[in-house]
Structure 1
Amino acid sequence: MLECLEFYKVLSKLAEDDQEDQRAIYKNLAVKCSPAASIHPLGFVLPKDGRFLLVEGCPTNVSQFKGDSQNAEDSREDEDSCEHVEPGPLPEDWTDASFIANEKESFTSLPVQDARRLLSWFCIGHNNHIWDSSSNPPSLPLPPLWVRCDMKDKESICWMGACPMVHSSSIEMQLYTATCKGPLVGTSALPSLDEVILKHKARHRVNKVRTTGYTRYVLFGPPQGNTSLFERCSNINVEFWWSDVNHLFQVPPTDATATLRIRVEPGDVRSPVHAAYKELNFLARVICGLQTGEMDWCLGDETQTAATLVETLINELKSCQNPLQGYAKKESEIVETPAMEAEVVMQSNAIPEREDLDFCEQLWFKMKSAVFSYTSIQDCLNLVLQALANQEIQPWTHRDNSSLLSEMVQQSCTGAMKYVPLVGKAPLEMLAQIGLDKIHRDYLTYFLGQELTTLKHLEYFFGMRSSLGLQEQLCRLTRLEHIFEVVAICRTFLSIPHENLFLLTMQMLQFYHDRPVDPSHVFSLSKPSVDKSLYENEQPAVWHVDVTSEQMSREAVSTIYVSRHPPVEHCTSTMDGTMQPFFNGGDGGTTLIDYEENCLYALTITVSHVKLG
């Protein structure tokens, strides 16, 4: 009994310690308390933001406990005959300073009998009757306790857990047992929905049940068979919820509630506007070079030198009878290499091309794909300034173009141009200014032209530019570029209607008003109009059904869940993947079946309740 209380005090001490997500050693056990935002190994059981205590075994002498192992029921019988025990100091085996690195390969699983003993100690510790009333017992309740099991028993138990639940003045313990079996070949091992309902009624002695279905389809995700890029690829899923499920793997009915989950990785090579991302990335390198004095040059696909392209642009302007016309060409007409041409064709299918490019924007477009050194930037700008100073060309620029080069263009028309020496940071500053102006106008034209928002909602990103530094303008453009990619992917690959794109754009503008770009953030769009042909013939990534019944004051739930990925990390499997959350809690059983072609893994979670004195 003393050992039981010592273990409980160790857990209490660890739960109160500020050094979360670190392991400590106690009697050959590795114990840690997770932070509030951590993901549980069985994340479908606990809330995503809930803290929990985790127990694993050390590499050696994992199961050396005092006395013989016994199950939780035997330990609870000992509770009735115990006397009050004064808490006393922490045991010597507890080493508060011996926090060790979080390396999964360093820790092992525990035998089921040892796991049951630890959980029984955890339950006993929550009973106020065992603590001496003259001393202060540890604070109650503690975070849920979870023990990783070695799956060597007949039932293949992989996790066991206990979650304290406070009801008025009493504490009730919710006990979980998770078993994993597999691989299973074929779907014949799966029970029918009728069989699940009959077992649920027999287990909980009820006559009426209700069924709720859930499924998730991947509409835009990593390429099939390529899991190495999973974390860096964009993912767009659609989730459905509906009542009155008819059979397993049922396609969602038309009245099902749908939600789009959208996570787009900036710079995804499959994006129809990937060329716009590369353009902004080049601008970012230029601005970074201004700050650090060093620039990362990347050779593009352009076969001609930047000076040659600029000289060609100047000659075209000289040959124009009307200097205000004839050179605002579409970008697709300017591209000459096959690789760049393919990008522009893909981008033109997603967004309309601008036909109002002014001289500075044309110059930026020529230089961004061909400059490869500081000297090449100087050469290009020298050609332009000489032509302007000699009044060989009189190009036009947009009225709201605030760049230094635009100012010099306007001065050249009156013969009073002030020449700026192209030394030091001046060439990079001029290039960054015309790039910022061009990309700003690209995004403004797109969002307003497609009626996805209003000028008022874009004021934060475009207003008061003269008072912002180059770096801050770049940061705001980067956020807009992410919104741009999300909208383009949804429109091109999912054919999302305009009213849904408008709501999505407004949501993202509000999100990025005061936040940096967050590639991991998932945007949600409720009740979207999704073309049924995108998913009705596809295999769902997740499918499950909840069978629920009322049992006194609580609900009893049995769930069959189907996923593509292995259910637990230490389940013997050659398959790669991650667990998807699905469990909503309850007094029933939860069954997860994981498949890869014909291989199935079945995870069953049973829940029971124990009322403590």
Structure 2
Amino acid sequence: QSHIQQLISLYTMVQNPNMTHLKINELVVLPPLWIRCDGSDPEHTYWLGAEPLKAGNKITGISFHMVKCDADKTCFVNLEELKTAHKVKHHSSIVTTKGFAQYELISAAAMDDTTLGSESNISIDITWHTVDKILQAPPLCSAAMLNIMMESGDPRSPVYPLYRELQFLLALAEGLKTGVTEWPEPLETQPAFELVQEFLLDLKKKLDGWCSSGNKNETEVYSIKSDTAAVDSSIKSIFSERGDLDFVEQLWCKMRSVCSYQELVECLTLVIKFLEHGEIQPWIHQGSSSLLSKLVQQSYHGKVEAVSLSGITPIQMLLEIGLDKMKKDYVSFFIGQELTTLTYLDYFVSTSVDLQEQVHRVQKLHHMLEIMVSCTVFLQFKHENLFPLTQTCLKYYKENPLNEKQVFQLPIRPALVKKFYQNDHPEIWKVDITSGHGQKEVKTTWQVSAKPPVEHMPSNNIGLFCDSTVNGSSEERMYFVAMAECSQVHFT
């Protein structure tokens, strides 16, 4: 401890313009000094800091900081005692207080006593002025910021089937890049070749039926559209399969269960054979740029070019139709929910970049979808909150690579999510007691947190146990109390 004090004294002295006997020709403003302590002193100090106070280029003094963890496990401090101690220490008569509380919303909002993915976290930071008491519940007029870090791939998510579809797409993209495809677990139990064969034969029968009875086919089409509308209006899932899948998109749905290169070649060979012989006349969306879509268009004129199904060509063909289909899925969601416009999505669905970059951008779309769906399902957010959050995500992902650790923020009213935290203990609660202005402002901070406030603090000797109720079940949680104080020395 004495060595630390000597170091801080030296740091202060070499910046003090009054120390003329040191014969320092030119005073240099040093960067802030922070010293990590082991907490072995009576006050359990874990950090000591010093930083210069400046007026322009002139050093006017030094501000000292101390961060310590209270070893008293019996009770919390009294707010009035804290304010009094601050006034005495800093010779001030007027103090202001500012509160901060952070709550995790996932545990309270998740269904069936479960939480989202291991890395997922939705929390809220709430700040307010004029604190009444220690651990005061934040007033509803407080300022609040929602923090969202969402990991894709939770099996409980309504979009998990789409996530698995994306994983198949990623496996194809990796295979195209490395030449070795790691086929994921099939999404269907029935072999992909059988699914494709049944699909093609069914289309052939419908074509034959159309030739003999147009009215019958019209009835079938009406029935299919009605069923689709019923699915779209269902409240069971926020994200349902689109009802306007064209031929190649439906083919992708059958072939995403392919589990070997040989099976993929067999499937594509069969498809091309049906097209060449004119046994099917499928429709496709305008603007499809995949090789298979071009073959379908050629089949309308009775001439399909020969394609060598060897090397990486089959992988690329499947990847192309998968990309086309999944892009339309995401666009359908964001446009259908009126969260953005096609112009804003142009970057994410562009075909002017290579296939690997297209896949990367589709991953970004999926991550944004996971965030929106989680906020809708778990927090019951409406359009007025989802829309600005979408804009934040779109802006970030136009400028940055995929990052599922990114914390997206959204300013909200505490009342919007109060029901998710009102019966829970905060993860962090702190109060700042401040006096003075400008360079002479001094602050005392008292904090209680569910995690150790400093990384190097042992968790076995300074903690408060507290009963916490989450989803109706009680559990004992450890909390840590810390206090940060400051003082100043002025040279003039």
1:481 is aligned to 366
Match of 1:58 in 2: none
Q: Which amino acid aligns with 1:611?
A: H
Greater relative contact order: 1 or 2 (C-alpha under 8 angstroms, separation 6 or more)?
2
Deviations 1:430-481 (A, max 9, x none): 1011011101111111111111011221222234x2x332122222222222
Mapping for residues 80-479 of structure 1, pairs under 5 Å: 112-128=1-17, 140-168=28-56, 169-182=58-71, 184=73, 188-220=74-106, 233-320=119-206, 321-322=209-210, 349-368=237-256, 370-463=257-350, 465=351, 467-479=352-364
SS at match of 1:546: strand
1:83 maps to which residue?
Answer: none
TM-score normalised according to structure 1 size: 0.69
- Whole-Å Cα distance in 1 between the matches of residues 178 and 5 of structure 2? 60
1:155 and 1:444 mapped to 2: Cα distance?
Answer: 58
Distance 1:454 1:573, change over 3 A: same
Q: Separation in 1 of the partners of 2:176 and 2:485?
A: 61
Q: Please list the CA deviations of residues 172-225 of structure 1 after superposition, one character each: whole Å capped at 9, or x if unmatched.
A: 1111222223372xxx5212223323333333344433322211111126999x
**2:77 alignment partner AA:** P
Distance 1:118 1:371 in 2: 68
Code of the aligned partner of 2:33: L
> In proportion to residue count, which structure has more helix?
2
Residue 513 of structure 1 is matched in structure 2 by: 398
Structure 1 residue matching 2:102: 3-state secondary structure: strand
8 Å contact from structure 2 (residues 98, 129) kept in 1 = yes
> Where does 1:516-531 land on structure 2 (aligned, <5 Å)?
516-528=401-413, 530-531=416-417
Contact residue 144 and residue 161 of structure 1 kept, 8 A = yes
Per-residue CA deviations over 1:333-355 (Å, capped at 9, x if unaligned) read 9xxxxxxxxxx9x9962224311
- Letter of the 1:261 partner, please give it: N
Q: CA deviation at 1:399?
A: 2.0
1:561 and 1:593 in contact (8 A); partners too:
no
3-state SS in 2 of match to 1:202:
helix
- The answer on whether the counterparts of 1:564 and 1:595 sit within 8 Å (CA) in structure 2 is no
Tell which deviates more after alignment, 400-409 or 545-554.
Answer: 545-554
CA contact (8 A) 1:159 1:178 kept: yes
In the alignment, the residues of structure 2 paired with residue 252 and residue 142 of structure 1 have an alpha-carbon distance, to the nearest angstrom, of: 39
CA contact (8 A) 1:310 1:380 kept: yes
1:220-278 residue CA offsets vs partner (Å, 9 max, x unmatched): 26999xxxx99961212111122232222222222111111122224345543233233
In 2: Cα distance, 1:347 partner to 1:294 partner = 41
Cα deviation for residue 487 of structure 1 reads 1.1
User: The residue matched to 1:350 in structure 2 has which SS?
Assistant: coil
Task: Give me the whole-angstrom Cα distance separating, in 1, the residues matched to 2:320 and 2:275.
Answer: 18
| Structure 2 Cα separation of the partners of residues 375 and 268 of structure 1 | 31
Check 1:135–1:147 CA distance in 2 against 1; reply closer, same or farther (3 A cut). Answer: closer
Hey, what's the Cα distance between the residues in 2 that align with 1:136 and 1:278? 68
- Aligned counterpart, 1:22: none
Percent identity, aligned pairs only, is: 38
Change (3 A) 1:395 1:365: same
What SS is found at the alignment partner of 1:566?
coil
Q: Deviation of residue 374 (structure 1)? A: 0.9
Does the Cα contact within 8 Å between 1:360 and 1:406 map onto a contact in 2?
yes
Which stretch of structure 1 is more off in the superposition, 541-550 or 195-204? 195-204
CA distance in structure 2 between the partners assigned to 1:413 and 1:555 by the alignment: 79
Q: Distance in 1 between matches of 2:386 and 2:421?
A: 20
Letter of the 1:495 counterpart = Q
Alignment pair present for 1:607 and 2:492: no
- Residue 471 (structure 2) aligns with: none
3-state SS of the aligned residue for 2:141? coil
Separation in 2, partners of 1:553, 1:113: 28
Quick check: 2:117–2:152 contact (8 Å CA) kept in 1? no
* TM-score scaled by length of structure 2: 0.84
User: Alpha-carbon deviations, 1:149-185, whole Å to 9, x = none?
Assistant: 233322222222211222353331111222223372x
Q: Which amino acid aligns with 2:88?
A: A
- 2:108–2:421 contact (8 Å) kept in structure 1: no
- Provide the rounded CA distance (Å) in 1 between the counterparts of 2:242 and 2:409: 31
1:489-521 deviation digits (Å, cap 9, x = unpaired): 111111112011111111221222232112232
Q: 1:594 to 1:216 in 2, by over 3 A?
A: farther
For this pair of structures, how many residues does the alignment match? 463
The residue matched to 1:606 in structure 2 has which SS? strand
Provide structure 1 residue ranges, at least 5 long, that are not aligned to the other structure: 1-111, 334-343, 576-591
Aligned to 2:389, which of 470, 486, 504? 504
- Find the aligned partners of 2:38 and 2:392 in 1 and give their Cα distance: 46
| Equivalent residue for 2:450, pick from 560, 564, 578 | 564
SS of equivalent residue, structure 1 residue 494: coil
The 8 Å contact of residues 159 and 179 in structure 1, kept in 2 or not, is answered as yes
Deviations 1:370-411 (A, max 9, x none): 211111110111121222222222222112222221222232
**Aligned position for 1:46:** none
Worse-matched range after superposition: 191-200 or 210-219: 191-200
- What are the ranges of 5 or more consecutive residues in structure 2 without an aligned counterpart? 211-216, 467-475
Which residue identity is paired with 1:438?
K
Q: Please report the RMSD computed on the Cα atoms of aligned residues, expressed in angstroms.
A: 3.3
Asked if structure 1 preserves the Cα contact closer than 8 Å seen for 2:183 and 2:260, the reply is: yes
Cα distance, 1:328 vs. partner? 11
